[in-house]
């Protein structure tokens, strides 16, 4: 893949999205930077509460403000155009058109009181200016495209008449209706059974090839990341802790957190082997620890970790880790 040389489609710099609540300020996303290049699949992976979903919603400006606020200095550029502060009208023109999104819960992401055809057509009429008839025909075509049988009939059905997998296909059809250049998929398969997950992942891969769009995949499932992503961003406590290609991350994890995650999974080779868990719990976003935020749970923590950590470049371009010991960890190839 020639991903490296292509200019960034989406460029996020120092994104900070904070929530101002009664209890205090939750710094859900606290200085996140990454690029999505045209045509690639970038995975953002992390546990719940790490800020991955807030990141994706911030890109589209979909967070309710207040309590959320995208802090000054944050920057989100689409093909060089700054989106933060570009105004609601401009964002509306982009949403569902240039950038579209699918969500975790296919059960609840479709409006239960409208027919699915109408819901797909809505985007087409808004962004493509199609009339009712043309939009409907296009909706039928899109439903066929995402592999729904009998699209002519399905188009007049309500969401509750479809299974979870079918609904996620409808969501995908809706997201693709205006042929976006970027698709943000927020845990698109988490709520689905494995066999259906396999179907959806296959469909996404197929459509991505066909439409040539970039995909920003947000998930907590390391297996899914390993299956479909080109590059990976690992998040922890509102920050990126590691970036790299999917092979780097899984083959040679540089950050102790990434390693811990991988070690928590039951081993395929030795199913009976005792799991290595990460002790403790994710800290509270209102009160992140100072210094390395993973320090309290890190088996390798020593003196020096109480200092704030920056992302450290590790060799190739785009390979970074937020750990001052990462270079030496990678160098020794210490995979515990």
Partner 1 sequence: MIDRSLPPLLSVRGLEKHFPLGQGMLGRAVRHVKAVDGVDFAIWRGETLGLVGESGCGKSTTGRAVLRLLEPTAGEVHYDGMDVRALDRESLRAFRRRAQFVFQDPFGSLNPRLSVGAMLEEVLEVHGLGGANRRDRAVELLELVGLRPEHIDRYPHEFSGGQRQRLGVARALSVEPEFLVLDEPVSALDVSVQAQVVNLLEDLQAELGLTYLFIAHDLALVEHVSDRVAVMYLGRIVEIADAANLYREPRHPYTRALLSAVPRPDPVGREQRERIVLQGDVPSAVDPPMGCPFHPRCPHPAKDDVCGSVRPLLEGDPGGHLAACHYQPSGVETST
Partner 2 sequence: MTKYLARRLLGAIPLVIGIATIVFFAVNLAPGDPTLRFLAPGMNQEVIEQMRANFGLDQPMHIRYVKWLGAMLTGDFGYSFSHSRPVLAVLRDFVPNTLVLSAVALVVAFVLGVLLGTIQAVRQYSKVDSGLSVVLLFFYSMPSFWLALMLILTLSLFARNVWELPIWFPASGMVSTDYEFLSFGAQLRDRFMHLVLPTLSLALVLTAGIARYMRGSMLEVIRQDYIRTAHAKGLSERVVVFKHALRNALIPIITLVGLYIPVLFSGTVFIEYVFAWPGMGRTIYEAILTRDYPLVMAGSFFFAAMVVVANLIADVLYAIVDPRIRYE
Partner 3 sequence: MSSDVGSLVVEHHQGTSRGGRLLSAILPGLPQLLAGRWGVGSAALLTWVGLLWIVVARPSRVASALGGAWDEQLAVGTLVVGLSTAWLWSWRDVAAAHEVKRVGVSVWELAVRAFSKNRTAVAGLLVIVGLYVIALLTPLVAPYDPAFQGDLLRERYVSASAAHPLGTDQFARDVLSRLLYGARISLLIGFVAVSISVTIGTLLGAIAGFLGGIVDGVIMRFVDMVISFPRLVLLITIIALFEPSIFLITAVLGLTLWPGTARIVRGEVLSLREREFVQAATALGFSKTRIILRHLIPNALGPVIVAATLGIGNTIVLEAGLSFLGLGVQPPTPSWGTMVADGRNVLLNAWWLSTFPGLAIVFTVLSFNLVGDGLRDALDPRLRS
Return residues touching partner 3 (CB under 8 A): 19, 21-23, 26, 28, 49, 64, 67, 281-282, 284-287
Interface residue with partner 2, options 47, 122, 252, 263 (CB under 8 A): 122
If phi over 0 gives left and psi between -120 and 50 gives alpha, with beta otherwise, what is residue 35?
beta
Task: Report the residue number, 106 or 244, with the smaller CB distance to partner 2.
Answer: 106
- By CB under 8 A, is residue 60 in contact with partner 2? yes
Interface residue with partner 1, options 126, 137, 144, 282 (CB under 8 A): 282
Judged by CB under 8 A, the stretch of 89-97, 137-145, 205-213, 318-326 that binds partner 2 is 89-97
Alpha-carbon 275 to chain mean position: 27
- CA triple 314-263-237, angle to 5 deg: 65
Task: Report the residue number, 20 or 114, with the smaller CB distance to partner 3.
Answer: 20
Site string for partner 1, 22-51 (x = CB under 8 A): -------------------------xx---
Q: Do the bridges between strand 81-82 and strand 75-78 make them parallel or antiparallel, or are there none, so unpaired?
A: antiparallel
The C-alpha atoms of residue 42 and residue 81 are separated, in whole angstroms, by: 20
Do 254 and 329 touch, CB atoms closer than 8 A?
A: yes
Do 12 and 188 touch, CB atoms closer than 8 A?
A: no
- By CB under 8 A, is residue 193 in contact with partner 1? yes
Tokens for 201? 């992942």
Task: Report the residue number, 104 or 177, with the smaller CB distance to partner 1.
Answer: 104
The C-alpha atoms of residue 63 and residue 130 are separated, in whole angstroms, by: 29
286 binds, among partner 2, partner 1, partner 3, none (CB under 5 to 8 A by kind): partner 3
Do 21 and 67 touch, CB atoms closer than 8 A?
A: yes
Interface residue with partner 1, options 23, 82, 198, 302 (CB under 8 A): 198
Burial of 47 (0-12, 13-18, 19+ CB in 10 A): middle
Q: What is the DSSP string of 304-329?
A: TTTS---PEE-SSTT-EES-TTHHHH
The residues in 221-240 that bind partner 1, with binding defined as CB under 8 A, are 221-227, 229
Query: Rounded to the nearest whole angstrom, what is the least distance from the CB of residue 45 to partner 3 in the complex?
Result: 19
- By CB under 8 A, is residue 171 in contact with partner 1? no
Interface residue with partner 1, options 272, 303, 317, 332 (CB under 8 A): 272
Say which residue the tokens 């996620």 belong to: 168
- By CB under 8 A, is residue 298 in contact with partner 1? no
Is 21 in a helix, a strand, or coil?
coil
Give contact residues for partner 2 (rule: CB under 8 A): 60, 62, 88, 91-97, 100-101, 103-105, 108-114, 122-123, 126-127, 158, 160, 171, 174
Give contact residues for partner 1 (rule: CB under 8 A): 47-48, 163-166, 193-199, 201-202, 220-227, 229, 246-247, 250-251, 260-268, 271-272, 274-279, 281-282
């Amino acid at each position: 893949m020639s991903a490296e040389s292509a200019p960034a489609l989406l460029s996020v710099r120092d994104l900070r999205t904070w929530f101002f609540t009664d209890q205090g300020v939750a710094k859900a996303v606290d200085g996140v930077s990454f690029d999505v290049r045209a045509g690639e699949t970038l995975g953002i992976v992390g546990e719940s509460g790490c800020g991955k979903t807030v990141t994706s919603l911030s890109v589209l400006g979909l967070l309710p403000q207040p309590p959320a606020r995208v802090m000054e200095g944050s920057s989100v550029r689409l093909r060089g155009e700054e989106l933060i502060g570009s105004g609601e009208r401009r964002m509306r023109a982009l949403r569902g058109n240039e950038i579209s999104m699918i969500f975790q819960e296919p059960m609840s992401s479709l409006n239960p009181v409208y027919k699915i055809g109408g819901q797909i057509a809505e985007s087409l009429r808004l962004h493509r200016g199609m009339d009712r008839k043309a939009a409907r025909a296009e909706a039928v075509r899109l439903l066929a495209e995402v592999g729904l049988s009998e699209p002519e009939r399905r188009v007049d059905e309500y969401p509750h008449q479809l299974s979870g997998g079918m609904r996620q296909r409808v969501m995908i059809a809706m997201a693709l209706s205006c042929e976006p250049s970027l698709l943000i998929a927020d845990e698109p398969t988490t709520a689905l059974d494995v066999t259906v997950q396999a179907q959806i992942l296959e469909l996404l891969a197929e459509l991505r090839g066909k439409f040539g769009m970039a995909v920003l995949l947000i998930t907590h499932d390391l297996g899914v990341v390993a299956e479909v992503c080109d590059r990976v961003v690992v998040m922890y406590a509102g920050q990126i802790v590691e970036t790299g290609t999917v092979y780097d991350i899984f083959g040679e994890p540089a950050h102790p957190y990434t390693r811990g995650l991988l070690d928590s999974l039951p081993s395929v080779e030795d199913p009976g082997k005792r799991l290595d868990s990460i002790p403790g719990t994710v800290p509270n976003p209102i009160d992140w620890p100072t210094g390395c935020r993973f320090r309290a749970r890190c088996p390798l923590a020593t003196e020096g970790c109480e200092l704030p950590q920056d992302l450290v470049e590790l060799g190739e371009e785009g390979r970074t880790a937020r750990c001052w010991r990462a270079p030496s960890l990678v160098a020794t190839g210490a995979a515990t």
